[in-house]
Amino acid sequence: MSRFWSDVVSKLSPYVPGEQPSNPEVIKLNTNESAFSPSERVIEAISNCVGDDLRLYPDPHSLTLRRAIASVEGLSSDNVFVGNGSDEVLAHAFRALFKRDQSILFPDITYSFYPSYCRLFDLSYQEIALDRDFMVDVENYPKKNGGVIIPNPNAPTGIDLGRKSIRRLLERQSDQVVIIDEAYVDFGADTAAIFIEEYPNLLVTRSLSKSHALAGLRVGYALGHVDLIEGMHRVKDSFNSYPVDRLASAGAIAAIQDQDYLDRIRVETGRNRDRLTSGLTALGFSVLPSAANFVFVHHKRIAATTLNEELRKMNILVRHFARPDRIEGYLRITVGSEASINQLLDKLQIIFARQ
């Protein structure tokens, strides 16, 4: 601990991202990156954007990008906020919209950035337990709170909350902001964005990292009532008035407008997920129903720690959450390409033959 740190820094427990190996031979099934290349339109748009204009600041309002998003979503640009990845968007939302005098609510098994942000922004929080099937029960969320955030599909479980439960949650939490984090929504879940005009307390966050295959570009956005979006802009403009650079904006616009390519990625990811699920089930794994580009799995005979270590020795990375609770025995496995799935299943068969 440095003696020059502030009191806030000394109390932080930062989020730990998935490992990014330097060895190109490693098969990465640990960080839920896309198995597909970005749209060719994205590469072309970024290439066309490289020129003398890079000496100039980007549009501080990202208006062209916000209009492109709004057009696809059937909303106004005033309903759209953009940032450097959905994590930054979430950070602005936590700062702008959650109340400091009451606890923030989210599932006990969920995206581990949420408690990190609460500690950073000095927000108290309460984790609400998933049920025995790892499902969110919105009836368990008390009405008195400082705000609610739930991913749909949830991570790391991949389970879809469903619009009926989302509507019930919004009705129960009408006096608080409800954030539905839709980083993985394109892979099989129903978006909550259709409720934005009906529920002014709803904020939906999205990422282009997963379904649009742009994890290296770092663009995310939020959809919500104009009052929520204005509050987030007030925070952003007090911190960094130029959130998305020219190249990222050009690439993001091209990706968002290429809906045909997005649909192809959705379909292919679904097929690969079915292939992965069937293969793992045949090997004796229990696989939770997933609406994401990953699966959450458990094997009764072989510990998750052992499987994780053995796969690592074979240059395959998966994600093991080594925490002393009910997911200690689970692995999260990204839905990769057909070739990477076949290699994973082949290596698992070798591991099981040794046990």
pLDDT tens digits for 58-77?
Answer: 999 999 999 999 999 999 99
Q: Tokens at residue 94, please? A: 């936590």
pLDDT value of position 1: 64
pLDDT digits 0-9 by tens, 22-42: 777 899 999 999 999 999 999
Considering the chain, what is the average pLDDT of its residues?
A: 94
Q: Tokens at residue 37, please? A: 């290349």
The pLDDT of residue 324 is above 70: no
Number of other residues whose CB lies within 10 A of the CB of residue 71: 14
User: What's the rounded Cα separation, in Å, for the pair 170 and 200?
Assistant: 10
pLDDT value of position 38: 97
pLDDT digits 0-9 by tens, 229-261: 999 999 999 988 888 999 999 999 999 999 999
pLDDT digits 0-9 by tens, 142-177: 999 999 999 999 999 999 999 999 999 999 999 999
User: What's the rounded Cα separation, in Å, for the pair 63 and 169?
Assistant: 32
The pLDDT of residue 128 is above 70: yes
- pLDDT above 90 covers a percentage of the chain that reads 88
Report CA-CA distances (Å) from 210 to 59, 156, 243, 261, 266.
25, 14, 20, 13, 10
Phi-psi region of 227 (alpha: psi -120 to 50; beta: other; left: phi over 0): alpha
pLDDT value of position 54: 92
Question: Torsions phi, psi of 160, nearest 5?
Answer: -80, 130
pLDDT digits 0-9 by tens, 251-300: 999 999 999 999 999 999 999 999 999 999 999 999 999 999 999 999 99
pLDDT band of 182, cuts 50, 70, 90:
very high
Q: Is 221 helix (H, G, I), strand (E, B) or coil?
A: strand
Q: Evaluate whether 145 touches 104 at the Cβ level (below 8 Å).
A: yes
| Domains parsed from the chain with CATH numbers | 7-37+260-354 (3.90.1150.10), 40-258 (3.40.640.10)
Q: Which pTM value belongs to this model?
A: 0.95
User: What's the rounded Cα separation, in Å, for the pair 198 and 323?
Assistant: 39
First to last CA, the chain: 43
pLDDT digits 0-9 by tens, 77-115: 999 999 999 999 999 999 999 999 999 999 999 999 999
Q: Which of 38, 69, 33, 83 is nearest to 251 (CA)?
A: 38
Report CA-CA distances (Å) from 117 to 114, 174, 271.
5, 23, 35
- pLDDT above 70 covers a percentage of the chain that reads 99
Mean pLDDT, residues 314-330: 89
The pLDDT of residue 209 is above 90: yes
pLDDT band of 14, cuts 50, 70, 90:
confident
pLDDT value of position 273: 98
